[in-house]
């Protein structure tokens, strides 16, 4: 997985506050044929361009948001949400106030939405364009998120300023006229928005053909059409069309899904991914966010896990400690029992495999902590390991029983085990549980410590000795 922490993305567009009132609808109103909702919970979330910025920050990148708000309580709530998630912001203020959308839900179903909004006047929109021109050169990508609320009336000078600074421009468009976005790097309409411009596309071939025409007409480098259950279609000037199937298995709510797609796309590209790989990342992010209710974000750990699950047949699932810590928390929150074991695993053999299969049966997730090359040398001597750390990790993670592989540098994994707080600690051999490194931490957290017997007749040392004996015999025969 890419490291997104060095990516800097400037987001500009229509910002809004999303309010959610949730409760039980137990009866019909006597005043009108509508359900009566007894509100039990209230929540506010950042919407529009602000949701794009939050999704970028959730992936670990740096997001700075420019938008138009009023000097009101909605803006103050929005500012709090952003700052708590590490998103910096800079506002143009307007007498039109801050846009707010209130949704009333019951049993995970939206019953009604009420919008509190006025179109942004021309002057704040000009101020916003000036802010983009002043700041865009400091960022890797400019994201323009258009919800047709008026903040982007001056989008053309924003694009021009970014192009002059050599900064790619990714746009989530709105409306029936894409000409204001001329010269952008990429625009991302959904299929309905695209067909409103070019007409019904029917088959994929027709969509690709019309997308290629739009590229030339609008002087774009790429056009990404999101197609709901049909996935995504990326059309560029230099590559063959790239078509992806949807990864979503269940869809609860598509609110804000386009924001998540744009955030993942821009973050991936800003980190150095190719456009195709960034689209793949965005497709995976969409498959996660549509399983959540309301405007939501996708964390890097969730995205990493989804990608690893989709690529699990390729086997390589090694990671660093901080990524693993978040994934362990997600698994435990989902009711999964996390098992950990450790070892050198130098010259992986069938005894190791049998042991790991037994360990995996003790829970839903198996972590294998692997000694680094330096710690193996401390334990086994200067001639070991025979297989370097990267190779040992790759072989282990190719096993179907292994979920996550992580290295450690110390002679024992006690520090790592205490950090991860697994549900079960497993060790093979003739240990007593209290002798196993990390056992006290596991017990203190309510976990279990298990000792499994090694399979007799299997040993890396014996394999090495047999190899040496064969080499000696071969030398004598010569």
- Give the integer Cα–Cα distance in Å for 83 and 5: 17
Do 347 and 460 touch, CB atoms closer than 8 A?
yes
Q: Contacts from 272-278 at CB under 8 Å and sequence distance 24+?
A: 272/2, 273/2, 275/186, 275/222, 275/234, 275/236, 275/239, 276/234, 276/239, 276/242
Question: Where do we find the tokens 């370097």?
Answer: 388
pLDDT of residue 470: 63
User: What mean pLDDT value characterizes the chain?
Assistant: 87
Residues of the chain with pLDDT under 70: 1-2, 246-256, 290-296, 306-319, 334, 454-478
The residues annotated with a catalytic role in the active site are 259
193-206: per-residue pLDDT in tens? Answer: 898 888 888 778 88
328-378 per-position pLDDT tens digit:
887 787 688 999 999 888 878 878 888 899 999 999 899 999 999 898 888
Per-residue pLDDT tens digits for 230-249: 778 899 988 888 887 765 54
Q: In what order do the strands lie in the sheet with 169-172?
A: 88-93, 62-69, 8-13, 141-145, 169-172, 186-187, 222-226, 232-236, 242-244
Q: What is the pLDDT of residue 252?
A: 47
Could you tell me whether strands 109-116 and 141-145 are parallel, antiparallel, or unpaired per DSSP bridges?
A: unpaired
At 455 the pLDDT is: 59
| Cα–Cα dist 43/293, whole Å | 12
Phi-psi region of 219 (alpha: psi -120 to 50; beta: other; left: phi over 0): left
**DSSP letter at 119?**
P
User: What's the distance, CA 111 to chain centroid?
Assistant: 29
């Amino acid at each position: 997985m890419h490291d997104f922490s060095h990516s800097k993305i400037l987001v500009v567009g229509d910002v809004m506050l999303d309010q959610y009132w949730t409760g039980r609808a137990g009866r019909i109103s006597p005043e009108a044929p509508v359900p009566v909702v007894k509100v039990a919970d209230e929540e506010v979330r950042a919407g529009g361009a602000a949701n794009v910025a939050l999704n970028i920050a959730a992936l670990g990148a740096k997001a700075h948001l420019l938008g138009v708000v009023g000097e009101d309580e909605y803006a103050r709530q929005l500012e709090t949400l952003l700052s708590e998630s590490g998103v910096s912001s800079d506002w143009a203020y307007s007498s039109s106030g801050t846009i707010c959308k209130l949704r009333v839900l019951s049993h995970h179903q939206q019953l009604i939405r009420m919008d509190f909004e006025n179109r942004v006047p021309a002057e704040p929109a000009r101020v916003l364009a000036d802010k983009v021109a002043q700041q865009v050169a400091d960022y890797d990508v400019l994201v323009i998120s258009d919800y047709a609320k008026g903040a982007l009336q001056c989008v053309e000078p924003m694009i021009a300023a970014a192009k002059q600074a050599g900064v790619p421009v990714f746009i989530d468009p709105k409306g029936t006229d894409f000409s204001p976005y001329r010269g952008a790097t990429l625009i991302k309409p959904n299929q309905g928005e695209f067909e409103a411009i070019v007409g019904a596309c029917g088959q994929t071939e027709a969509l690709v053909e019309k997308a290629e025409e739009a590229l030339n007409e609008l002087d774009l480098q790429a056009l990404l059409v999101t197609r709901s259950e049909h996935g995504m279609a990326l059309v560029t000037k230099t590559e063959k069309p790239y078509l992806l199937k949807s990864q979503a298995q269940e869809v609860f709510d598509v609110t804000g899904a386009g924001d998540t797609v744009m955030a993942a796309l821009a973050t991936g590209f800003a980190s150095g991914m190719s456009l195709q790989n960034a689209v793949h990342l965005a497709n995976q992010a969409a498959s996660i966010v549509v399983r959540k209710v309301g405007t939501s974000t996708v964390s890097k750990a969730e995205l990493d896990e989804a990608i690893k699950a989709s690529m699990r047949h390729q086997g390589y699932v090694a990671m660093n400690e901080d990524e693993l810590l978040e994934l362990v928390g997600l698994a435990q929150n989902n009711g999964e029992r996390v098992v950990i074991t450790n070892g050198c695993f130098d010259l992986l053999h069938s005894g190791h495999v049998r042991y790991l299969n037994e360990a995996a049966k003790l829970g839903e997730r198996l972590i294998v902590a692997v000694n680094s090359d330096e710690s193996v040398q401390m334990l086994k001597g200067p001639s070991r390991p025979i297989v370097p750390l990267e190779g040992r990790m790759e072989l282990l993670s190719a096993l179907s029983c292994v979920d996550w592989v992580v290295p450690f540098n110390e002679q024992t994994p006690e520090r790592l085990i205490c950090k991860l707080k697994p549900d079960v600690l497993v060790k093979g051999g003739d240990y007593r549980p209290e002798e196993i490194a990390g056992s006290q931490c596991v017990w203190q957290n309510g976990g279990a410590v298990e000792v499994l017997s090694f399979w007799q007749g299997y040993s890396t040392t014996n394999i090495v000795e047999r190899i040496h004996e064969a080499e000696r015999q071969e030398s004598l025969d010569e």
